[in-house]
Every structure is written in structure tokens, then in C-alpha cells.
Amino acid sequence: MKLEEIYALYVQDVYRYIFSLCRNKELTQDIVQETFYRAFLYLESYNDEKIKPWLFKVAYHTFIDLIRKEKKLAYVEDMETLNKKVSEAAEDTAMNRHRIKEWLALIEGLPLHKKNLILLRDYYQFSCEEIADMLGMSIPNVKVSLFRIRKELRAKMKGSEKDEV
């Protein structure tokens, strides 16, 4: 199916869906446009799922991405605040890099299946449903496994903090 056909069939449905989420006409139009742009980019990787749920999934993820960007932009009030935040961000970035390196080093010690699960969820930000689909697991099994892996990592991190003191 061509993008033009998909657009003609589903643009109104996608528009109504997104509008029901955000209640803002301009934002809805932007999200619908971005949705069909992303659909065009990923149409080749489309795996013959039902097109409408796939398109709604793309629309929802587009909505979430734009909302996150809006939230980030809303915090910048003026240049003084921006400059202060930039210097704080530099410090935070250094600390975050250290934490991420420490976290990745701890993950390296995990068995492959545990490492894969935690990376897909916490590093690459896939949903539990997407991970379940990718790995052929049930959603509850993914959630329980992630809980146990995180608990294990927290215990290791507490242990490494005691070693540093």
C-alpha cells in the first residue's frame, strides 16, 4: 500500500486520535504531519501488521516525542536562567556520564539475556510491550524480569559505593 493511499484512508482518524490527546489544533496538525513523515520513512520496515494500529502507534510515539520537547522548552524562561542551567547542566552531564559508565560496567557482568532486557528498556527506552514482542516473552514476564534485574543492579551499586568510602 502506498503512503498516499494510507494518508487518504487514515488522516482523519489519526487527526481525531491526536486531537483527543492534546486538544490543540495547531499541535495536532504538527503531530499528524510528523506522523505521516515518519510513516513514510519507516514504511519499508513495516512488517505487514494491520496498518491502522501501526499508524496509531507511530502517531502516539510522535505525540510523546513532541510533548517531551515542549516540556523541555517550557523551562527556559530567560537568558540568565538559561546560562545558569547550562553551567549546572555541564556539572550534571559529567556526573551523569560517570553514573552511566558505572551502570554500563555493572551491566557488563550480567548474563546476556538480562543485559539485553535492561538495555532495551532503560537505555534504548523501548516499552515493555515492544520488548515482549521483540523477545517473544509475555509482558508480565518482562516486567518481573526488569524489576529483578534493577534490584540486582541497585544492590551491586550500593556495594560499589561502600567500596569507594
Contacts of 106 (CB under 8 A, 6+ apart): 153, 156, 157, 160
In this structure, which amino acid lies at residue 92?
A: D
What pLDDT is stored for residue 10 in this prediction? 92
Domain count, the chain: 2
The span from the CA of 13 to the CA of 17, in Å, is 6
pTM of model > 0.85: no
Last residue within a domain, chosen from 24, 41, 74:
74
**Residue 27 located in a structural domain:** yes
**pLDDT grade, residue 75 (50/70/90)?**
very low
* CB neighbour burial string for 105-114, b if at least 16 within 10 angstroms, e if fewer: ebbeebeeeb
Specify the residue for cell string 541497585: 154
Domain holding 51: CATH number?
A: 1.10.1740
CA dihedral 140, 141, 143, 147 (to 10 degrees): 140
The span from the CA of 59 to the CA of 18, in Å, is 7
> Mean pLDDT highest for which of 27-31, 79-83, 118-122?
27-31
Query: Does residue 52 share a domain with residue 101?
Result: no
Query: Does residue 98 share a domain with residue 36?
Result: no
**Cβ atoms < 10 Å from Cβ of 91:** 9
Domain holding 96: CATH number?
A: 1.10.10.10
What pLDDT is stored for residue 68 in this prediction? 77
Residue 96 sits in which domain range? 88-164
pLDDT tens by residue, 113-154 = 888 888 778 877 778 998 888 788 999 999 999 999 999 988
